[in-house]
Every structure is written in structure tokens, then in C-alpha cells.
């Protein structure tokens, strides 16, 4: 009898351990419905008094500015990012290092950083918004030369200056080096000064859809984990934890709250977390990533404590990226800030529970 009770206890313990670790692993390569309704290149109408990037109340002039933000250990903590409407995380070196691109539109911080160099994949992202874009230097390697991409897109032939290379003579006056970060992780751009170059430009209006209704589709997802290179100790790894009281996901890195240096006691939170799966290759070197940003692929959307398995579609380089559900309908986002991780199955495992 005692032996039977002992076996039952062991079985219960193993069952509890299995339940506790029963996280769902996303199959990034799964076949999903990519037949969508409507024309992905057709923009949603702008709603007066509503931000096109957050869905929150907004009455100001729409001036989107993209800032390349360093994301290696020496760059932490970053600053100014707490004001970003959208933060993109994209590959920068090999399969395990990433760089951020912060989109500021509702609010422009006085300073943001640390600012690092641009790649072709960032230039292609800029085309989606036709936004102002700042960085510190560019890659000039044949095949991934940023200047070639900018010439192809006509990005420097606009009615206003929209390309701000802090390493160039014209815009070098719009940054300074902070003393609490070591080179090369110390460039701080004066974002509000760059806004004046872009003011008055006729930016295309490409708003997301937003809703006040909580999502009901998909399955529950109150915690999300992203692991790079199969290494649970990789410092690029991150996690998001959902708080039903606020309807927000708080981001952590290395089990610590992800914060803006300007407000170190407040963890950064996001209404929407999106993983956009695509193809990644390299132009002969690990620091020359080539990312497919046009076309279609799988996307996993987390919001309101739910996970929706969907797809993304971007018709051409000057079109917006649209996220669709399994029925081919554009997914309305929750109002607030959004984190978009553009990555590849080769590098990243995403789990949730």
C-alpha cells in the first residue's frame, strides 16, 4: 500500500512538472492561410483625433522619425525609447544579435540612443513609412550598400531632408556623446531638432486598424519567450508578461525589467507584441544581413492576453505591412505601443503559455 501511494505521489509530481512546463512552441514554418481580403496596398482611412501608430488620442502634426538604436550589452540601458510608438527588433549580426529601430510620431523625445549604423534592411523599413531616418554611419559593402538602396528608392530626393546620417557633416551637430556609455555605444541624437527638417513634408498616411474590444480569437498567451540561437543564456533573449489589469505586456531581458534610462523605475510595456517571420541571408559576412521585407510570411500576434496565428503581407517596398488573421481579415490592434520582432526560424524560437 505504501509503495502504491509513493508511486501515485511521484506520478502527481511528474504531472505537475509537465503542466508547469507545457509552453507552446510556435511552428514558424507552418502552412497558414495567406489568401487575404482586400488590397494590402490600400491604406486605412485616417481617423481625425486618433494616432495612426498607436490609436490613442492625437491632434498634433504627424511627423514619423525612425532612429536606429544599438541593442548589444554595452548599449544598455538605452534612452528615449520609452516615447516610441513602435519598436522594431531586427537582425544585425549573425543569427543572435539584433538592432532596434524606434518609430517616434506621437511624441518626439529630446534625445534618444545609443544610435548606431544603418543597413539596407533599415532603408527598406524606412520606405514603408517614408519617414525621417537617423543613424550613425552606413554599410557600404557591394551588394548591401545603403547608399545604393537610398538612391534606388529616391530617399534623398524628397521635398524635405529625411535622411540624417550623424557621421555626415550636415547632421553631425544634432548629436552628442554621453559620458556614461563607452564608445561606440555613446551617440545621443537630438530627435526634436531633426523634426524641424521634416516638418511640413507630406508624409503618406498608413494607419493601423485599432479597436477598443478585447480579442477573443486564438488561445491564451500571458507569457511569451524569445530565445536566440537555441541558447537560453543569450543576452539577446527576451520575454513578455501580460497584466490583465492594464492590458499590457511588460518586457524583460535577462530576467530584469526592460527600462528606459530616463525612467529606470518603470518597466516598458506594450499593448501589442508581434513576431513577423521571414527569410534571412547574408551578403558574404555576418554583419551584412539581407532580410526579406516584401511579400508574405507567417506572423504571431499577441495582444489582450491572447495569441493569434496569422500572416503578414507587404505588397511592395512603399506599401505598409498588414497583419491578417486566419480568415484573411486585417487584425485590429489594441490601442497603445507595439513591439515588432522581425526574425527568422533559423535564429529564434518563440514559446508562449
Does some domain include residue 128?
Answer: yes
Does some domain include residue 3?
Answer: no
Same-domain status, 291 and 262: yes
- For residue 278, is pLDDT > 70? yes
* pLDDT, mean of residues 281-291: 98
Q: Give the structural domain span for 322.
A: 24-44+209-352
**Separation of CA 229 from chain center:** 19
In angstroms, the Cα distances linking 87 to 10, 14, 90, 184, 297 are 46, 40, 10, 21, 20
Same-domain status, 238 and 191: no
Does some domain include residue 11?
Answer: no
CB 303 within 8 A of CB 24: no
Same-domain status, 159 and 98: yes
Domain stop point among 198, 217, 249? 198
Q: What would the pLDDT profile of 152-189 be if each residue is shown by its tens digit?
A: 999 999 999 999 999 999 999 999 999 999 999 999 99
- For residue 60, is pLDDT > 80? yes
* pLDDT, mean of residues 11-40: 75
CB 301 within 8 A of CB 272: yes
Same-domain status, 218 and 346: yes
CA distance 339 to 119: 20
Of 12-21, 24-33, 91-100, 265-274, the one with minimum mean pLDDT is 12-21
Confidence of residue 34 (pLDDT cuts 50, 70, 90): confident
Does some domain include residue 18?
Answer: no
Confidence of residue 33 (pLDDT cuts 50, 70, 90): confident
The answer to whether the bond into 297 is cis (omega within 30° of 0) is no
Query: Is residue 6 classed as helix, strand or coil in its secondary structure?
Result: helix
In angstroms, the Cα distances linking 350 to 22, 165, 194, 220 are 13, 34, 36, 15
- For residue 3, is pLDDT > 50? no
Same-domain status, 113 and 75: yes
* pLDDT, mean of residues 43-49: 96
The residue whose grid cell reads 526634436 is 192
Does some domain include residue 91?
Answer: yes
Does some domain include residue 37?
Answer: yes
- For residue 8, is pLDDT > 70? no
Confidence of residue 25 (pLDDT cuts 50, 70, 90): very high
Same-domain status, 77 and 186: yes
CA distance 200 to 198: 6
Confidence of residue 22 (pLDDT cuts 50, 70, 90): confident
Task: Indicate which CATH number applies to the domain containing 37.
Answer: 3.50.90.10
**Separation of CA 184 from chain center:** 23
CA distance 159 to 61: 17
Same-domain status, 29 and 85: no
Domain stop point among 145, 163, 198? 198
The fraction of the chain above a pLDDT of 90, given in percent, is 93
Q: What is the CA radius of gyration of the chain?
A: 21
The pLDDT value recorded for residue 108 is: 98
The pLDDT value recorded for residue 21 is: 53
Q: Which three cell numbers stand for residue 78?
A: 538605452
**Separation of CA 182 from chain center:** 25
Same-domain status, 217 and 339: yes
**For the chain, what is the total number of helices (H) and then of strands (E)?**
4, 26
Which are the contacts of 322, defined by CB distance < 8 A and separation ≥ 6? 36, 40, 312, 313, 314, 330
Domain stop point among 170, 198, 226? 198
CA distance 110 to 335: 24
> Of 243, 244, 276, 297, nearest to 350 (Cα)?
276
Confidence of residue 11 (pLDDT cuts 50, 70, 90): very low
- For residue 4, is pLDDT > 50? no
Same-domain status, 127 and 159: yes
Torsions phi, psi for 66 (to 5 deg): -100, 135
Does some domain include residue 56?
Answer: no
Total structural domains in the chain? 2
Q: How many residues does the chain have?
A: 353
- For residue 10, is pLDDT > 90? no
Q: What would the pLDDT profile of 311-323 be if each residue is shown by its tens digit?
A: 999 999 999 999 9
Q: Which three cell numbers stand for residue 174?
A: 544634432
Does some domain include residue 9?
Answer: no
> Of 323, 333, 234, 229, nearest to 277 (Cα)?
323
- For residue 1, is pLDDT > 50? no
Same-domain status, 222 and 153: no
Of 21-35, 130-144, 201-215, the one with minimum mean pLDDT is 21-35
Same-domain status, 217 and 145: no
Same-domain status, 125 and 77: yes
Average pLDDT, rounded, for the chain: 94
Q: What is the reported pTM?
A: 0.93
Amino acid at each position: 500500500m505504501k509503495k502504491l501511494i509513493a508511486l501515485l505521489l511521484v506520478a502527481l509530481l511528474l504531472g505537475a512538472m509537465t503542466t508547469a512546463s507545457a509552453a507552446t512552441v510556435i511552428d514558424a514554418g507552418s502552412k497558414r492561410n495567406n489568401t487575404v481580403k482586400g488590397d494590402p496596398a490600400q491604406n486605412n482611412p485616417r481617423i481625425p483625433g486618433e494616432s495612426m501608430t498607436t490609436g490613442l488620442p492625437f491632434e498634433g502634426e504627424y511627423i514619423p522619425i525612425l532612429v536606429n538604436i544599438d541593442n548589444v550589452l554595452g548599449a544598455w540601458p538605452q534612452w528615449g525609447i520609452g516615447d516610441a510608438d513602435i519598436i522594431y527588433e531586427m537582425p544585425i549580426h549573425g543569427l543572435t544579435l539584433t538592432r532596434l529601430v524606434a518609430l517616434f510620431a506621437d511624441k518626439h523625445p529630446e534625445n534618444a540612443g545609443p544610435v548606431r549604423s544603418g543597413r539596407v534592411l533599415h532603408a527598406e523599413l524606412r520606405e514603408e513609412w517614408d519617414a525621417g531616418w537617423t543613424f550613425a554611419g552606413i554599410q557600404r559593402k557591394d551588394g548591401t550598400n545603403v547608399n545604393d538602396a537610398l538612391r534606388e528608392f529616391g530617399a534623398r530626393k524628397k521635398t524635405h531632408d529625411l535622411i540624417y546620417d550623424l557621421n555626415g557633416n550636415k547632421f553631425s551637430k544634432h548629436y552628442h556623446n554621453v559620458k556614461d556609455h563607452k564608445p561606440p555605444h555613446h551617440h545621443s541624437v537630438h530627435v526634436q531638432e531633426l523634426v524641424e527638417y521634416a516638418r511640413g513634408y507630406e508624409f503618406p498616411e498608413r494607419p493601423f486598424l485599432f479597436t477598443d474590444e478585447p480579442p477573443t480569437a486564438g488561445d491564451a498567451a500571458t507569457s511569451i519567450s524569445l530565445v536566440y540561437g537555441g541558447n537560453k543564456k543569450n543576452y539577446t533573449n527576451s520575454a513578455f508578461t501580460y497584466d490583465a489589469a492594464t492590458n499590457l505586456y511588460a518586457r524583460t531581458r535577462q530576467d530584469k525589467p526592460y527600462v528606459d534610462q530616463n525612467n529606470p523605475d518603470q518597466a516598458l510595456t506594450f499593448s501589442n507584441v508581434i513576431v513577423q517571420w521571414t527569410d534571412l541571408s547574408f551578403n558574404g559576412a555576418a554583419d551584412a544581413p539581407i532580410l526579406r521585407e516584401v511579400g508574405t510570411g507567417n506572423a504571431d500576434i499577441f495582444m489582450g492576453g491572447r495569441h493569434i496565428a496569422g500572416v503578414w503581407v507587404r505588397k511592395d517596398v512603399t506599401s505598409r505591412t498588414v497583419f491578417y488573421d486566419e480568415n484573411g481579415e486585417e487584425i485590429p490592434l489594441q490601442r497603445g505601443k507595439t513591439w515588432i520582432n522581425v526574425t527568422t526560424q533559423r535564429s529564434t524560437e518563440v514559446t508562449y503559455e
